Amino acid sequence: MRTIAIIQARMSSSRLPGKILKDIAGKALIHRVWERAVSSNVFDEVIIATSNETSDDAVSIYCKSNDIPQYRGNLDDVLDRYHQAAISYNADIITRLTGDCPLVDPIVIRNAMDMHKNGDFDCVTNAVERTYPDGLDTEIFNFEILERINNETNSLFDREHVTPYLYKNTDKFKLGHLKQSKDLSRYRWTVDEPADLLFVREVYKEFGNNIFGMNEILDLLNKRPELLIKREPAKFF
C-alpha cells in the first residue's frame, strides 16, 4: 500500500496573503509543514498540492528549488486537486494536511495512521471531535474513499474543503475519531493572521531545527504564558 501525504497550499489567503512562503527560522512556512510530515516516517512520499494559477508560481518554484515533490491543479476545486494528485503519485492511502500548520505533530500523524491501518474506518480524523490544538489537524482515508467523494458531491463547499461530505454523511461512511483525554482544542497553532505567525516564529526560535511536538510546545507555554493564543473550539462545517 503506497502511503502519501498531500499538503494543500495556495498563496491567495484573504487574511494573510502569501503566508505559506513566509519565513520561519530560515525556511518557508510550507517547508516546515512538509519536513514535519516527512519526519513522521509513515509516508512513501509527501507532496505539496498547489494550484495551476500564476499566483502560485512562486510555490512551484520554491518546491523545485528545495526538491519538494509537488502537484498543481484546480485552485477552487481542491477535491479534484487531491484526486488528481493522488492518481499522479499512485496513492493507496492519503493523509490530508494543510499548508498553514507548521506545528503539525509527527506523533499525532503516526497515531492517526496506526488507527487507520488497525481499524475498520473509511476516514480517521482529529478535526471533527476536537481535542487537539487547531493546527494539528490530520485526516486519513484510502484512495477509494477519495474517489467516491469526488464522484458523489457537486457542492462547491464540499469540493473546496475536501472532506465535509464525509462528515455530513455518517450513514454512508465510518469515521474514526482520534482523540486524547485532555481537551486542548482551545489552543490556536495554525497560521491565519499575523499574530499566529509571530507565535509560530517564537516557537521555532525556542526549538530551532529540532523536531518537536505538542508536548514540548505545551511545556514552552507553561514557561512563557505570554505566548498563548487561544480560541473557541472550531467547528468543521
> Does some domain include residue 61?
yes
Sign of CA dihedral 8, 14, 16, 18: positive
Q: What is the pTM of this model?
A: 0.95
Residue 233 lies in a domain: no
pLDDT given at position 228: 83
Has residue 96 been placed in a domain? yes
pLDDT for the residue 202: 95
CA 226 to the chain's CA centroid: 26
The domain total for the chain is 1
- Supply the pLDDT for residue 230: 62
Residue 135's Cβ-count burial label (10 Å; 0-12, 13-18, 19+) is buried
Residue at 222 is within a domain: yes
The predicted structure's pLDDT at residue 206: 95
Ranges of residues in the chain with a pLDDT under 50 are 236-237
CATH code, domain with 205 = 3.90.550.10
List the Cα angle 71/36/212 in 5-degree steps: 170
> Cell numbers at residue 161, please?
474543503
DSSP state for residue 38 in the 8-state scheme: H
Is position 178 within any domain?
yes
Instruction: Flag whether 234 is in a domain.
Output: no
User: What does the pLDDT read at residue 13?
Assistant: 80
